[in-house]
Structure 1
Amino acid sequence: MMIRCIIVDDETHAIELLSMHIEQTGFLELVGTATSPVKALQLVFEQKIDVVFLDVQMPEMSGIEFMQLLNGRCKVILVTAYKDYAIQGFDNDVIDYLLKPVTFPRFLQSARKLLDLSNKTAEQSNDYIFVNGDAKGGLLRINTDDIIYVEGQKQYVCFFTRDGRKYLSRLTLKELETRLPAGKFIRVHKSFVVATQYITRIHNNALSLAHTTQMIPVGSSYRESFMNRMKDRIMT
């Protein structure tokens, strides 16, 4: 299991130190870094991020304010030079609290705690499906959280996942719709089902998704139901 993470800190030397620690930790993948909390929020909402290594004191907004805007979208490990923020951090359900300068042994202790929690969550999750694989009679497991979108291709559907892979299965989109978690996926076209968590931009009649340059069309007969589904997320 690879845990995707970002670092948010207004001090570049702190980012460099944490980056080195992450590079030495085999199960962590550094997706990006940011000295601006605003840019970091954009990164979180555009990509699938599992954990944020977050500084507390920053000029644009504090780490506590940043966490409130995250609204539980990913896990947080606070990194700061001030012990006084520990209680506030744990009140906001952070995974751990690291004091600067962060030593590698202490960082690794925190990372292992994160890995144990991620493994426990994965074991408890039922968000996966089995589809016909390449081998005759074989079944392939796909975690639904990894699916960006599904395209119907006559008697087949093609799953496009966030790691850039494609999986072809003999199935129709109509059949698939009944098997995917309804709260996470929506039919937007006669040929496309998308994962709502990966939508990064809504154009007039098309969608941009994280992890792919493919534009997904929104069919005229699906537009009303799609907009009704997304209305609570749209601020105008």
Structure 2
Amino acid sequence: MTKIQCLVVDDERLALEVMEANIERVPFLHLAQLCATPMQALDFLSRNSVDVLFLDIEMPGLNGLQFLQTLKNPPLVILTTAYPQFAVDAFELNVVDYLLKPIPFNRFLAAVQKVQAQWSETRLRKDGPNEAKPLDGHIFIKSGSKTVRIDLQEILFIEGKKEYIMIHTRQSQITTQASLSSLMEKLPANQFVRIHRSFIIALAKIESIERNRVLIDKTEIPIGEFYREDLLKRIS
């Protein structure tokens, strides 16, 4: 799964640590860099690209709003501040969200889900209609002493166990010593979705969704509360 690349700019060390911890909790985010000053961020952006910028406002020298106005092609922006009075100015700069410190995790999650929706729409426009083609690829998985080819269209769902994962198809169950996160990176993001800390499913194989479970090939698979909103967006 391609992850959203995040840059955090804040002059408070504790605030940086909180944002780092929050980003690590969200499966579709990846922390690209922490910066303590806007100038450090400018230097990083001159050599790297990111998808979303978490930006504090009140910083010595150059504040966050001034810094944002210097960027010719800014990424998606979420402002983080202890001062509500900047909200009007912030939204005039087309920021995605405005988070007031201390930031509760549920509020952080709501903001990054907005980012995910906008980021996904942008990628879809860039990739064009071919992104939604039926599965015709495959992956190779090491299972015991063998390396097994698995056609993507055969996968129903993938289940994470304590020390291994199990790939379920209609014909067989293949086990391999890997993590769900590492396998998710090999799968097309438009065809597979993680719906629980222990399950990845093939969207095309969903038979029905009821309350907190998905039915695939007569198997009931739980939907984790953390993953529910992403699943509903993907099928809408």
TM class, shorter-length: 0.5 to 0.7
Paired position in structure 2 for 1:67: 68
Aligned length: 133
Paired position in structure 2 for 1:112: 113
Matched residue type, 1:10: D
- Asked if 1:89 is matched to 2:93, the reply is no
Whole-angstrom distance in 1 between the partners of 2:73 and 2:93: 10
Question: How far is 1:48 from its partner?
Answer: 1.5
Question: How far is 1:27 from its partner?
Answer: 0.5
Q: Residues 129 and 54 (structure 1 numbering): CA distance in 2 closer, same or farther, change over 3 Å?
A: same
Whole-angstrom distance in 1 between the partners of 2:37 and 2:124: 35
Identical amino acids, percent of aligned pairs: 37
- Counterpart of 1:125 in 2: which secondary structure? helix
Residue-by-residue CA offset, 1:187-211 (whole Å, 9 max, x unaligned) = xxxxxxxxxxxxxxxxxxxxxxxxx
Residue-by-residue CA offset, 1:155-180 (whole Å, 9 max, x unaligned) = xxxxxxxxxxxxxxxxxxxxxxxxxx
2:68–2:74 CA contact under 8 A, matched in 1: no
Q: Residues 38 and 103 (structure 1 numbering): CA distance in 2 closer, same or farther, change over 3 Å?
A: same
Q: Which runs of 4+ in 1 moved over 2 A?
A: 126-130
Residue-by-residue CA offset, 1:36-83 (whole Å, 9 max, x unaligned) = 110111111211211110000100201111111112331111000000
The 5 Å alignment of 1:126-141 reads 126=127
Paired position in structure 2 for 1:49: 50
Paired position in structure 2 for 1:24: 25
Whole-angstrom distance in 2 between the partners of 1:2 and 1:128: 21
The 5 Å alignment of 1:225-236 reads none
- Counterpart of 1:54 in 2: which secondary structure? strand
Question: How far is 1:90 from its partner?
Answer: 0.4
Structure 2 unaligned blocks of 5 or more: 132-136, 138-236
Paired position in structure 1 for 2:206: none
- Asked if 1:123 is matched to 2:143, the reply is no
- Asked if 1:39 is matched to 2:40, the reply is yes
Whole-angstrom distance in 2 between the partners of 1:73 and 1:85: 19
The 5 Å alignment of 1:125-164 reads 125-126=126-127
Paired position in structure 1 for 2:181: none
Matched residue type, 1:15: L
Q: Residues 15 and 128 (structure 1 numbering): CA distance in 2 closer, same or farther, change over 3 Å?
A: farther
Paired position in structure 1 for 2:11: 10
Paired position in structure 2 for 1:99: 100
Whole-angstrom distance in 2 between the partners of 1:6 and 1:81: 19
Structure 1 unaligned blocks of 5 or more: 134-236
Whole-angstrom distance in 2 between the partners of 1:76 and 1:127: 25
